[in-house]
Structure 1
Amino acid sequence: MNKTELLTAMAETSGLAKKDCDAALSAFIDTVEAALKSGDKVQLVGFGTFEAKERAARTGKNPATGATIEIAASKAPVFKAGKAFKDSIQ
């Protein structure tokens, strides 16, 4: 499902206009991004938790040349599904 299909499904389920669903989805995404950038996590009980995890610096290999390279430390967004969400899709 892509964004257009998601917005169509949201509009059908909620009875809202696609334009309103697009605004709500964009606001949700922007809010989650801002929270993760500031170091917070977003926890939606029954659905899951969005958070940013620290990745340590490490040594890797360039697959094309086999040369050893240093990979810098970084932050990566992570989603952990909640129990109710996991159970609902099985």
Structure 2
Amino acid sequence: MIKSELVQTIANRNPHLYQRDVELIVNAIFDEITEALCESNRVELRGFGAFSVKNRPPRTGRNPRTGEAVEVSEKWVPFFKPGKELRERLNDED
């Protein structure tokens, strides 16, 4: 599912809301999550999961084409840990 499909689904389930308002709400949620992660804060959505950032230290990598050693700089990467309810729904055998 892409963001436009998410907006359309929410708008269809809530006919009293305009699609442009739903789009603003979805964008605001994503912007707040992004801003919190940029500030190294953890974002927890109960039942769904938690977003955080992890540090990847600098390392020496290899160019797959030439085999030459390449220095890879330190970086911060987003990390998602699914919540208990999400894991249970994904693994539901019923």
TM-score calculated relative to the size of structure 1: 0.91
State the 1:13 CA deviation.
2.0
Q: Distance in 2 between matches of 1:71 and 1:23?
A: 37
Q: Which runs of 4+ in 1 moved over 3 A?
A: none
For the pair 1:5 / 2:18, whether they are aligned, the reply is no
CA RMSD of aligned residues (A): 1.1
State the 1:14 CA deviation.
3.0
- Which residue in 2 is equivalent to 1:32? 33
Range that drifts further, 56-65 or 1-10:
1-10
Q: Distance in 2 between matches of 1:57 and 1:86?
A: 32
Flag structure 2 segments of 5+ consecutive residues without an equivalent. Answer: none
Amino acid at match of 2:34: E
Size of the aligned set, in residue pairs, is 90
For the pair 1:59 / 2:23, whether they are aligned, the reply is no
Amino acid at match of 1:3: K
Q: Identity over the aligned pairs, expressed in percent?
A: 36
For the pair 1:78 / 2:52, whether they are aligned, the reply is no
Q: Distance in 1 between matches of 2:22 and 2:83?
A: 24
Q: Secondary structure at the match of 2:41?
A: coil
